[in-house]
Structure 1
Amino acid sequence: MASLRPPAAVRAPFEGRTWREFGYVLTGLPLSVLSFSLAVTLVSAGAGLLVTFLGIPVLAGALTVCRGFGAVERARARGLLGLDVRAPEPARGRTGGALSWMGATLKSGVSWRHLLYAFVHFPWAVFSFPVTLALWAWGWGLFTYPLWQWVFPMYAGQDGLQVYGDETHALYLDSPFEIAVTSLVGLVFVLVWPWVTRGLVAVDRLMVSGLLGPSRLADRVTELESDRGVVVDTAAADLRRIERDLHDGAQARLVALAMDLGLAKERLARDPLAAAAMVDEAHGEVKLALQELRDLARGIHPAVLTDRGLDAALSAVAARCTVPVSVEVDLPGRPAAAIEGIAYFTVSELLQNVSKHSRAARAWVDVWRRDDRLMLQVRDDGAGGADPAAGRGLAGLAERIDAVDGVLAVDSPSGGPTTVTAELPWRP
């Protein structure tokens, strides 16, 4: 069925996208005329009144009006072009009064960009409106000329559409050949019209997204706020995990050990052999408690990572994996401690996933530096099917990496193999 589908050039004049873009251009001119007229009038009045205090509220009102038209333009772009541009933060004064609001509006770069859009979009709308409307009208009019050519001899008293005429000579499109050629010329215009319209609308897309959305600084602040929330949640989760491990593991074992030693002390005088057996059992519990505390300390931050770096630390992690792991670390130096710690725990968690879920026979760990990025890659020959959206393991790992401007990519088709690549910033 796909082979019977007409080419894109033939489908374009009849697609909904083309007519939505055409509607966007048609509605753009009256809105642009209105916004440009108001902007010029209010800004001129405000600039002229700056010699008095009245110029400040007039200018602030002009910028507010432009922001209102910007909201309309974003809604129009969203509805007709499918372009979703996030609304910028409103201008808010520190104290909440009228003077504070006017100051915040006048100092807002977003407000001035909305004013710039009103000035720039007006000449563009004046150009794009007649171009696309003329192509549409001439294209469909000439293409359908055979259907309405009869109107001229019946109601206009002439043979057909007049191409040329003076006092002595006139040329009409009335023969079958001329009518057919006219229709073919119209067909060319009809086929060209959608692509010209899309080219014109592409400029509108750039203006809307570049001038009517939040600034890059605001986007970066929002991203950092989100990353900070992820870091705080991750730190809180790590603290809860440490508390749970201490409470359920080493602490419970040490409490039981204290009770056993108390009983051994009571029996030491009347039953030395039983007391010795209890002390020997307590000695084993002490070893287990120490091992649990070492594992807990290694989970917080391993000493080998601090002392010897990623190569030795990852080799130690690989040695504890249930499958053979080859580790290759090629770094010219050591990154910042925070980045090094994230890299260690990323590889550690990925190797835990290999041990628990992959059913792999072998795994490989590669670490290298590329420009100003630290690259990590963990591969295995297991069953595959790892999906970050399916559970909290890989998803949480991706959030932690994203919090430091990193990227986690998972390639794990069903049946394997699995390749997980992490990219972290190199911060010396």
Structure 2
Amino acid sequence: MATEYGHSHGHRSGPSGRGVEGDAGRRFRLPAGLRAPIEGRTWREFAHVLLGLPISVLMFTYAVTTVSLGVGLLVTFLGVPVLAAGLAGCRGLGALERARARGLLGLDVADPEPLRVRRSGPMAWMGAVLRSGTSWRHLLYAVLHLPWAVLSFAVAVTFWVYGWALLTYPVWFWLFPAYGGQDGLQLYGDETRRVYLDNPFEITVTALVGLLFTLATPWIVRALTLVDRLLVHGLLGPSRLATRVVELESDRGVVVDTAAADLRRIERDLHDGAQARLVALAMDLGLAKEKLAEDPQAAARMVDEAHGEVKTALQELRDLARGIHPAVLTDRGLDAALSAVASRCTVPVRVDVDLASRPAPAIEGIAYFTVSELLQNVSKHARASTATVDVWRSEDRLMLQVVDDGAGGAEAGAAGSSGLAGLAERLDAVDGILVVDSPVGGPTRVTAELPWRG
């Protein structure tokens, strides 16, 4: 399980050789603040706010009506199905809201966990709907979103209409004297005096105020939709507990698969190595026993060869035991164990372990095998001349870092990177993280983070 180094993962460039980022910078010559009113994102967010009011009215009316009716009918048998149907409808409206947020806000919220119906039949389904926390969170969204939608609609429409109306006032102010019977837009008026925006200076100032409103409106709308994002993500997406359960189930599968693969490797090593050698040793000793009476010298040579086979078999068993869990790690900790691993690397390795105490044995074992596999990658693929291993503790995390001056180009998710990908999965199974920084040409820096759990 090793990862090839040297694959090209450089900066993307266009046909002319210029970087995509440079082209993007040249494409937008206007500052973000000036182009915001005409950007597609701004209009999509404004459309989200406009649609939010009628949809929230529909959701609020449906939720309050069905739930109130269901609660009122709980004294009869009809209350339970009406309440369950109301909650199920809220889940359907929640799906509509997730689709609207995905299309207009670019917010991709995963669907919540499905209903867990333990038995077939309508009663089991109604019980699952009523027990589901997701159903009640969708109901809460339907109730809470209406007041926020009213506020968002009022603020966004007010700023949007006044901003564009004032900005374009020089274009349409002539309508007042032509059709309204007044000199312009009335700014102030009482029984004795009236002030109109009718001279060039006042018209220009009005347009500038409208420009300020127009430039500020996209950011105000963006701030309003930020609350919508939080509501959709927090109430209509999967709960943190459910997400954590899914992660743990996935991690459990990784752990089971890894353990099964390790058992198969141990069985294969025993069958092909020590077991086969011991079988041959038993046959040689049987032949030596038969020759002992008639040819003692030949029997002695066979016993001597068997003695050599015994030493080889013992060495293989020691190597196998070290692969399962090295004794030096149990007895002396990470410093000595990693130093032993570094001594077997094909390039000089400097090891620096700065730990005042030892982490949990399971974490210590994972850290040992992580560094061991990374140094194997250095030996086989990195084409490096030196490497370093640093281990330290940062608050409640155990940090590992392996750096080499080789060819670089390694990436955990790249084709042929099954070693690093598998290593990342193993670390993820214990809430660990693997970060690979390996530009083409080197150096390669692999950082692993594990929980301490001492």
**Aligned partner of 2:77 among 53, 58, 63:** 53
Residue 319, structure 1, aligned to residue 343, structure 2? yes
Deviations 1:224-268 (A, max 9, x none): 011011111111221222233233333444455455556666766
Q: Distance in 2 between matches of 1:278 and 1:415?
A: 55
Structure with greater contact order relative to length (CA < 8 Å, sep ≥ 6): 2
Residue 105 (structure 1) aligns with: 129
Deviations 1:339-390 (A, max 9, x none): 1211111111112122222233333222232222222222333333332123
Q: Distance in 2 between matches of 1:278 and 1:23?
A: 90
Residue 424, structure 1, aligned to residue 440, structure 2? no
SS in structure 1 of the partner of residue 74 of structure 2? helix
Deviations 1:30-81 (A, max 9, x none): 0000000111111221222222232222222221121111111111111111
Q: Distance in 2 between matches of 1:26 and 1:190?
A: 17
Residue 321 (structure 2) aligns with: 297
SS in structure 1 of the partner of residue 400 of structure 2? strand
Q: Distance in 2 between matches of 1:265 and 1:18?
A: 92
Residue 260 (structure 2) aligns with: 236
Residue 329, structure 1, aligned to residue 371, structure 2? no
Residue 408, structure 1, aligned to residue 423, structure 2? no
How much has 1:404 moved relative to structure 2?
0.3
SS in structure 1 of the partner of residue 399 of structure 2? strand
Residue 69 (structure 1) aligns with: 93
Q: Distance in 1 between matches of 2:437 and 2:288?
A: 57
1:123-272 matches, within 5 Å, as: 123-156=147-180, 158-164=182-188, 171-258=195-282
Deviations 1:260-290 (A, max 9, x none): 5566667667776666555544443433333
The TM-score normalised by the length of structure 2 is 0.86
Distance 1:273 1:79, change over 3 A: same
SS in structure 2 of the partner of residue 50 of structure 1? coil
Q: Distance in 2 between matches of 1:74 and 1:255?
A: 66
**Aligned partner of 1:393 among 419, 424, 427:** 419
How much has 1:314 moved relative to structure 2?
1.8
Identity of aligned residues (%): 76
**Aligned partner of 1:82 among 106, 111, 117:** 106
Q: Distance in 2 between matches of 1:147 and 1:337?
A: 77
Q: Distance in 1 between matches of 2:296 and 2:435?
A: 63
Q: Distance in 1 between matches of 2:312 and 2:406?
A: 33
Q: Distance in 2 between matches of 1:16 and 1:244?
A: 60
In the alignment, structure 1 segments of 5+ residues that lack a partner are none
Aligned-partner residue type, residue 404 of structure 1: V
Aligned-partner residue type, residue 400 of structure 1: R
SS in structure 1 of the partner of residue 212 of structure 2? helix
Aligned-partner residue type, residue 220 of structure 1: R
When structure 1 is superposed on structure 2, of 238-247 and 260-269 the one drifting more is 260-269
SS in structure 2 of the partner of residue 416 of structure 1? coil
How much has 1:411 moved relative to structure 2?
2.5
How much has 1:142 moved relative to structure 2?
2.0
In the alignment, structure 2 segments of 5+ residues that lack a partner are 1-22
Q: Distance in 2 between matches of 1:91 and 1:398?
A: 32
Aligned-partner residue type, residue 215 of structure 2: L
Aligned-partner residue type, residue 398 of structure 1: A
Q: Distance in 1 between matches of 2:351 and 2:166?
A: 71
Q: Distance in 1 between matches of 2:215 and 2:390?
A: 53
Residue 374 (structure 2) aligns with: 350
Aligned-partner residue type, residue 214 of structure 2: V
SS in structure 1 of the partner of residue 59 of structure 2? helix
